[in-house]
Structure 1
């Protein structure tokens, strides 16, 4: 916690002690956001785990499954734009609660689908309803943590998705084998309803006195004014499209997210079809790269925080993990295309996913460093929009490549590695420490 915040002269000793105790709730909120992230990503992972089962039941080609796997991502990308504005406008409590309730309902409804079209519609609805989650999380972080503190809590929140990715293959495979893919969808959807109810019960915004302790009196007053402005006017996210940083953040996120979503949507199928593992074996092996991803997210946040303490600027401290992680991920993913040894391929995939997740928390924190306080969620959402355009293309392009090459993954890994380098170059050379 910043020393300035702890010694704010406007707080007398009794009030200061009470405020210091009261802001401990922020770590409870971080923990709840982690749990929400786990449930959020379990919903997304259901289709990937049930990939081959649903393909057989509905008689789908790889291209058709690619379209189905992408059905979540493109509406999610588009919906991020209004979601960011709505979070800035209405606050994280209401928007996150609505999102969690609706995405859980959509997951359970999808379990009743009996055609490709209904499955597709269910995934589109899931993408739209999940869009406010990370922007709401970023807004919570901006309100409850000072700038020099944010990298770690943002990274911790982002471990929720990686925890889900790690436990999803064995957990969801077990549900799939015991209750079928429809029962799996219903069970995961019900978890989200529980998360929504707990969030409504626990979450609150910090008081002005708590903000004074966290950020100092001047920062707290600025945040209050920004909140009042956003309550009466549009947050002005359209103005962000007139800033060059915005476009290169979108491009950089596109390159990184593309490869991450190749992992998230096609890794189980790759292990089954190219490496010859059974469905139950795939459930456990798929979790190895995702376990490494948890460490990657935490490493990126810790590295960024350490760089700030050593005197680096906030933006530079975010860019080092973002660029370094993307380059290392490319170096690990590209050789997989030519590796015959299965253990070595899994080791490279695990290293690649670790490195690809190092930028995750820092991407979101970078948005809070560059944007004005009343536009933090908006810029984060726009960057996420660019990223999920890549995420939407990844499963479709992969499916098309597999159909064209007879399920050969060589070009899949080459494209993913190249786009990781595009992402690294975009952040390194074109994202500057300016709002212009």
Structure 2
């Protein structure tokens, strides 16, 4: 960078840029669900065919997650994430050329491969730029981008549809990624190489790393990673938790249209609100971990477990969606579910940085993310088949129970001594 001015608290500016990239990633991802009622009519897509389109994204995302993590660990997060962002922006714009559910699924699959890098890249950035005690907070702030993107999609996409057409919506949301890539390449460096970081902050980050992360040169193989029970203590709960978030992302507008009979204008007005609640879940979940360490004098790992348990209890709310008559009460229960899921998700993502070395975090997070999206893909296909026959209500109950089971597994498989050094607040 040309300027050598020192910036106090530079790590928070870095995570702000990561968050902005996550916003754009989820804006493109959520554009499909916001446009779904229109696409369903204009391309003559059935609910089951829509589930195939959703599953195409999720299946390709599933396969690509560990590959993306390996690439990020190999070439570095700066260049790696920039390449992936260009790819997902282009493929999102290509959606405008779709003329059937098959072509839409094809472009969606390509975008799933490109978007698979965002969470591993975010966690790799957090691991490199933050001491252990601040990682859950940093993760919460970058992960908030996922729900902000989901929140912005309904009003932006529907405005484009009403002013122009659905094709324009995909072009506009995709083009924004190119602006972010320029900002990312200009601003991001590692702490050891960034000219704008103060000496005090660089030392603070280094001193706050666990013993296993300091001067760590090791790079465990995939086989070594998956042999650890801590890996399964994250991967299985993600397999169980991710279907909820993907259901909220891809099915809420269609559910409000087909079951609650809301028109496009009403969906634009209300479908973003659950994602605002998800924003709060990201932030609150991030701060809960250090607060629990302070209040209850528990270890770092135990604090993460307590956040997962808290989120799992709150996730019981969506199970009651089928019992309420008002669509607005249903939206309120979706809000609780989105809040709950993001507290769980943030804690599970952060656990990866707690139990894996910084040189393997991209690969490890990609592998656990693969497990999550495998669960999401399977569940989306089930939604497509079951929703039109018996309705959505039993599926919402399943999503709630999945997270309760996941919380139990986290507690059983992840040891409190999984990190190599205690962290104080």
TM over 0.5: yes
Query: Given the alignment, which residue of 393, 397, 408 partners 1:414?
Result: 397
Measure how far apart 1:153 and its partner are: 1.0
The answer to whether residue 362 in structure 2 is matched with residue 372 in structure 1 is no
The answer to whether residue 416 in structure 2 is matched with residue 430 in structure 1 is no
**Aligned residue in 2 for 1:315:** 301
- Map 1:276-355; keep pairs closer than 5 Å: 276-310=261-295, 311-329=297-315, 331-355=316-340
- Map 1:79-98; keep pairs closer than 5 Å: 79-98=64-83
Query: Given the alignment, which residue of 218, 226, 242 partners 1:257?
Result: 242
The answer to whether residue 345 in structure 2 is matched with residue 360 in structure 1 is yes
The answer to whether residue 256 in structure 2 is matched with residue 266 in structure 1 is no
Measure how far apart 1:432 and its partner are: 2.2
How many Å separate the matches in 2 of 1:223 and 1:323? 27
Measure how far apart 1:133 and its partner are: 1.2
Structure 1 stretches lacking a partner, 5+ long: 1-18
How many Å separate the matches in 1 of 2:313 and 2:373? 20
How many Å separate the matches in 2 of 1:345 and 1:219? 43
**Aligned residue in 2 for 1:51:** 36
**Kept after mapping to 2: 8 A contact 1:301/1:361:** yes
**Kept after mapping to 2: 8 A contact 1:88/1:375:** yes
**Kept after mapping to 1: 8 A contact 2:133/2:208:** no
**Aligned residue in 2 for 1:214:** 204
Structure 2 stretches lacking a partner, 5+ long: 194-198, 420-425
Query: Given the alignment, which residue of 141, 161, 164 partners 1:176?
Result: 161
| Aligned positions, number | 410
**Cα distance change on mapping 1:224 and 1:316 into 2, 3 Å:** closer
Q: Going by fraction, where is helix more abundant, 1 or 2?
A: 1
Give secondary structure in 2 for the equivalent of 1:59: coil
**Cα distance change on mapping 1:163 and 1:216 into 2, 3 Å:** closer
**Kept after mapping to 1: 8 A contact 2:301/2:417:** no
Measure how far apart 1:195 and its partner are: 0.7
CA-atom RMSD, angstroms? 2.3
**Cα distance change on mapping 1:186 and 1:314 into 2, 3 Å:** same
How many Å separate the matches in 1 of 2:416 and 2:362? 18
Measure how far apart 1:21 and its partner are: 4.2
**Kept after mapping to 1: 8 A contact 2:278/2:340:** yes
**Cα distance change on mapping 1:386 and 1:357 into 2, 3 Å:** same
Give secondary structure in 1 for the equivalent of 2:165: helix
**Kept after mapping to 2: 8 A contact 1:370/1:433:** no
**Kept after mapping to 1: 8 A contact 2:73/2:359:** yes
